[in-house]
Amino acid sequence: MVNAIHVDHVSKTYGSFRAVDDLSFEVNQGEIFAMLGPNGAGKSTTIRMILDILKPDVGTISVFGGPLTDAKKDRIGYLPEERGLYRNVKVLEMMTYLGTLKGMTQRNAQSRSKELLERLALIEHRDKKVSELSKGMQQKVQFAVTVLHDPDLIIVDEPFSGLDPVNTLVIKDLMLDMKQRGKAVVMSSHEMHQVEEMADRLLMINRGRQALYGPVDEVRRRYAIHAVIVEGQGAWEQLSGVQRVEPHKNGRNAAILHLAPNVTSNDLLATIAAAPNATIERFELAVPSLNDIFIQVAGRDE
Amino acid sequence: MNKMLLVAKYEYLYNLKRPAFLFAAFGTPIFFVIIMAVVTLASAGTEVDLATYGPVGYVDQADVLTTGQAHPDYPALFQSFESIESARTALDDEAIIAYIELPATYLSTGRVNLYTYQSSVPENLTAAIELFLLTNFTTGIELPFTLERLQEGVDIRVQTVDDGRTSTQGGLFVTLFLPVIFAFLLITASLTNSGFLMSGLVQERTNRVIEILVTSVTPLQLLAGKIIGLGLLGLTQVVILLGTTYLGLALGQSQNLEFLQGVNLPPALIALALIYFLVTFFFMAALLAGIGAVSSSEQESRQISGFLTIPFMIPYLFFITFITEPNGTVPTILSLIPFTAPMSVLIRVGLTDVPAWQIGLSLLILVLTTVFSVWAGSKMFRWGLLLYGKKFDLREVVRVIFGRARMETSTPQNITSQESV
């Protein structure tokens, strides 16, 4: 099966500013692919180049196995970070129009719009103008527009910003549903826990360059430190095999125990179990969150 | 359906429903029809049934009504009074509704005084008074025609020799100025609709809908669709305008409004006006689309477009020159300059016989400029479409039009704003 997206040694320079620098990656069908990076890292520029809004200076980008043609545009859904909707047009009318621009028939676009509005609990607002909707509702409409034509590839920039937890869940379900049906989902997000939870693979860009690239689990393991996080009572410093103890910054009563090179986490668990006055409420490997990795990677180049 | 046509259809229907369009399309014509109706009703309202109208007294100090012979149509309308005082008394006692005084100087001045408590004098009473006087003047004379014919005097038809338009003397003013007003409305419609195109585009950019649009259609499909949709909208407006003009004329003429008698709009003039309308629309639509695509705010684009619209009205500054010397140097030059040409030619055509070569040359120059404006406009459009928050820089725009053809849609200045959380 051909890749949904194949970016090959792409660079883009604005004047003397190198926005994207020799970037290469692939997005497969049936996966959720996360693009991460600090502000100004080049994520939006990369997305725009994939969508042929911008042309790269160097390198090639292929979508569904070749250059992006007009016919292929109908197979892509795009949710721009700066939301774009007609404000003075009725919701259903606008969705139908944007659907037909993606090659749908008028009737098809209309029935599918109603279906999505139903699913997003917006059906009673279909004859309201977009400007009359709340921000969260507009966000949902925007997402509905993105998936209206059942594209094979969606590129969503910050899909959860401005959504409450309930609606976040609804959108998440829609995205997972797309993945299940073999579609490719590219999401750019600052919400690391969402990426951690949903994404199969990730690309982290920093200053236009690839900082991290690979399966989410692998990336996290690569940044794992030789330590465990424990919560409970005990004289951790005195346990054998523990080199150093530092308080865990998020845990109320948690600590990070750095282990000696020859000690495994299983050894430590056994030691704690044997220790007379130690009780534990939590015991886990100190695999860093993507957030930690993100800060670590982004901070390294500052 | 072709995506360009989809865009055209959407733009047409969306703008059709806009209050600004409805006002422009229907407001002026409705105003015109209302004026016609009011004038018609007002003149109709001053007719009264003189058979039941109260008697009118007369005091003849000029000694011209000695026989006091009544016109057969109004046998008992007029009553003679010996003096102003007795007539006045009768008026105060409501025995008569009005009285006329023929002063001693009547024969040399033709002046008659009418006294009444009524707020207005019915138009047919004036006619009846004239007939009454004429009846008495012509007593004993065998007339080869009716008295009414004598009363009407001469009916002059003015024939403008150049294009065969006819009108009465009263209609001459309208005949000359109707094309001028028509030209004004047409060119304004053209400018208004290209203005719609621009503001729509600026809004799409501020709303960022443009990002959705350009990932669905090509910039050229978008631009062409918009121009076609709004061009058809403009034509709709013109049809409404023409329809109501003809309706107003027909209405006015059916009511025998003197100033509209014989007024007509020759088809050749309308055809020429339509050609100028369309060319002007394409000229401005492409230009304003380019400006809409590169300006940073709706306000800025309005300022620039307002600046570009002013030259279209320059001919009105020279209106007196146009009337006195329609084929003079200034009107001729203004007919050739692209911005001033549409108005100038249409005004002149309404006033005089414009040499065909001038119309031809004017159109040729305008069409060439339009081709350039479409070319340059579409370049600016493609280039500026996704440029946000950047100040309008004329030098950069010129470089885009004439310089590198490469499409550059973003700049480092706005990177941070694009990627802000």
- Indicate whether B230 and B94 sit together in one domain: no
Kindly tell me if the per-residue pLDDT of B176 is higher than 70. Answer: no
- Indicate whether B86 and B201 sit together in one domain: no
- Whether B217 and A101 lie within 8 Å, measured CB to CB: yes
Residue type at A170? V
Count other Cβ atoms within 10 Å, centred on residue B76.
Answer: 8
- Indicate whether B124 and B237 sit together in one domain: no
Q: What pLDDT, on the 0 to 100 scale, is given for residue B169?
A: 54
Q: Is residue B197 part of a domain?
A: yes
Contacts of A73 in chain B (CB under 8 A): 215-216
- Whether A84 and B212 lie within 8 Å, measured CB to CB: yes
Rounded to the nearest angstrom, the minimum Cα separation between A203 and chain B is 17
- Indicate whether B188 and B273 sit together in one domain: yes
Q: What pLDDT, on the 0 to 100 scale, is given for residue B159?
A: 63
pLDDT-derived band at A83, boundaries 50, 70, 90: confident
Count other Cβ atoms within 10 Å, centred on residue B241.
Answer: 20
Q: Is residue B49 part of a domain?
A: no
Average pLDDT over residues B230-243: 88
- Whether B415 and A40 lie within 8 Å, measured CB to CB: yes
Rounded to the nearest angstrom, the minimum Cα separation between B10 and chain A is 7
- Whether B211 and A84 lie within 8 Å, measured CB to CB: yes
Kindly tell me if the per-residue pLDDT of A109 is higher than 90. Answer: yes
**Least confident window among A2-11, A253-262, B331-340, B389-398:** B389-398
Average pLDDT over residues B103-128: 83
pLDDT-derived band at B413, boundaries 50, 70, 90: very low
- Return the number of CB contacts < 8 Å for A and B: 85
Residues B333-372: pLDDT tens digits?
A: 999 998 899 888 888 887 778 888 999 999 999 999 988 8
| Nearest in space to B10 (alpha carbons), one of B222, B239, B271 | B222
- Indicate whether B69 and B33 sit together in one domain: no
- Whether A19 and B386 lie within 8 Å, measured CB to CB: no
Contacts of A99 in chain B (CB under 8 A): none
Kindly tell me if the per-residue pLDDT of B166 is higher than 80. Answer: no
Kindly tell me if the per-residue pLDDT of A115 is higher than 90. Answer: yes
Kindly tell me if the per-residue pLDDT of A82 is higher than 60. Answer: yes
Last residue of a domain, one of B152, B170, B201: B152
State how far the Cα of B346 lies from the Cα of B354, in Å rounded to an integer.
10
A202 versus A81: the higher-pLDDT residue is A202
Write out the residues of chain A at the interface with chain B, using a CB-CB cutoff of 8 A. Answer: 14-15, 17, 19, 39-41, 43-45, 48, 51, 53-55, 70, 73-74, 76, 78, 80-87, 89, 97-98, 100-102, 145, 158, 161, 190
Residues A203-242: pLDDT tens digits?
A: 999 888 998 899 988 888 888 788 888 888 888 888 888 8
Q: Is residue B406 part of a domain?
A: yes
Average pLDDT over residues B401-409: 53
Rounded to the nearest angstrom, the minimum Cα separation between A86 and chain B is 6
For B411, the closest of A14, A82, A100 (CB atoms) is A14
CATH code (residue B109) = 3.40.190.10
Last residue of a domain, one of B152, B170, B185: B152
Rounded to the nearest angstrom, the minimum Cα separation between B205 and chain A is 9
- Indicate whether B249 and B297 sit together in one domain: yes
Q: What does pLDDT average to over chain A?
A: 88
For B419, the closest of A40, A85, A145 (CB atoms) is A40
Average pLDDT over residues A59-74: 91
Kindly tell me if the per-residue pLDDT of B46 is higher than 90. Answer: no
For B418, the closest of A44, A89, A97 (CB atoms) is A44
Mutation choice for B interface testing from A46, A53, A58, A94 by most B CBs within 10 A: A53
Contacts of A15 in chain B (CB under 8 A): 411-412
Handedness of CA A112, A117, A123, A126 (dihedral sign): negative
Rounded to the nearest angstrom, the minimum Cα separation between A282 and chain B is 35
Kindly tell me if the per-residue pLDDT of B250 is higher than 60. Answer: yes
Q: Is residue B8 part of a domain?
A: yes
Domain span holding position B98: 56-152
- Indicate whether B105 and B212 sit together in one domain: no
Kindly tell me if the per-residue pLDDT of B126 is higher than 90. Answer: no
B23 versus B362: the higher-pLDDT residue is B362
pLDDT-derived band at B260, boundaries 50, 70, 90: low
Q: What pLDDT, on the 0 to 100 scale, is given for residue B405?
A: 42
B139: DSSP letter: T
Domain count, chain B: 2
Q: What pLDDT, on the 0 to 100 scale, is given for residue B228?
A: 92
Average pLDDT over residues B206-216: 84
- Whether B216 and A98 lie within 8 Å, measured CB to CB: yes
Kindly tell me if the per-residue pLDDT of B404 is higher than 60. Answer: no
Q: Is residue B45 part of a domain?
A: no
- Indicate whether B29 and B140 sit together in one domain: no
Average pLDDT over residues B216-237: 89
Q: What pLDDT, on the 0 to 100 scale, is given for residue B180?
A: 75
Q: What pLDDT, on the 0 to 100 scale, is given for residue B409?
A: 44
- Indicate whether B76 and B118 sit together in one domain: yes
Contacts of B420 in chain A (CB under 8 A): 39
Q: Is residue B282 part of a domain?
A: yes
What percentage of chain B reaches a pLDDT higher than 70? 81
- Whether B409 and A19 lie within 8 Å, measured CB to CB: no
Q: Is residue B363 part of a domain?
A: yes
| Nearest in space to B331 (alpha carbons), one of B310, B354, B356, B361 | B354
- Indicate whether B223 and B317 sit together in one domain: yes
- Indicate whether B334 and B409 sit together in one domain: yes
Mutation choice for B interface testing from A101, A106, A157, A190 by most B CBs within 10 A: A101
Instruction: Give one word for A30, left, alpha or beta, with left for phi > 0 and alpha for psi -120 to 50.
Output: left
Q: Which two tokens stand for residue B102?
A: 């023929």
- Whether A84 and B406 lie within 8 Å, measured CB to CB: no
- Using only C-alpha atoms, what is the Rg of chain A? 23
Kindly tell me if the per-residue pLDDT of B407 is higher than 50. Answer: no
Q: What pLDDT, on the 0 to 100 scale, is given for residue A178?
A: 93
Pairing mode, strands B56-60 and B98-102: parallel
N- to C-terminal Cα separation, chain B? 38
| Nearest in space to A140 (alpha carbons), one of A112, A114, A168 | A168
Q: What pLDDT, on the 0 to 100 scale, is given for residue B322?
A: 83
Contacts of B229 in chain A (CB under 8 A): none
Kindly tell me if the per-residue pLDDT of A183 is higher than 90. Answer: yes
Average pLDDT over residues B122-126: 78
Kindly tell me if the per-residue pLDDT of B167 is higher than 60. Answer: no
Instruction: Give one word for A269, left, alpha or beta, with left for phi > 0 and alpha for psi -120 to 50.
Output: alpha
Q: Is residue B319 part of a domain?
A: yes
Phi, psi of A82 (to 5 degrees): -80, 110
Instruction: Identify the structural domains of chain A with CATH numbers, from first to last.
Output: 5-221 (3.40.50.300), 225-286 (3.30.70.330)
Mutation choice for A interface testing from B201, B211, B396, B420 by most A CBs within 10 A: B211
Rounded to the nearest angstrom, the minimum Cα separation between A252 and chain B is 30
Most confident of B118-127, B259-268, B347-356: B347-356
For A70, the closest of B1, B218, B416 (CB atoms) is B218
- Indicate whether B364 and B271 sit together in one domain: yes
Residues B303-319: pLDDT tens digits?
A: 888 888 888 888 888 88
Q: What does pLDDT average to over chain B?
A: 79
pLDDT-derived band at B375, boundaries 50, 70, 90: confident
In chain A, the largest separation of any two C-alpha atoms, in whole Å, equals 74
Pairing mode, strands B56-60 and A279-285: unpaired
Last residue of a domain, one of B117, B152, B187: B152
Q: What pLDDT, on the 0 to 100 scale, is given for residue A27?
A: 95
Residues A4-57: pLDDT tens digits?
A: 999 999 999 887 788 899 999 999 999 999 998 887 888 888 998 999 888 888
Q: What is the ipTM of this complex?
A: 0.78
State how far the Cα of A55 lies from the Cα of B383, in Å rounded to an integer.
12
**Least confident window among A253-257, B24-28, B81-85:** B24-28
Nearest CA in chain B to A49: B409
Q: What pLDDT, on the 0 to 100 scale, is given for residue B107?
A: 84
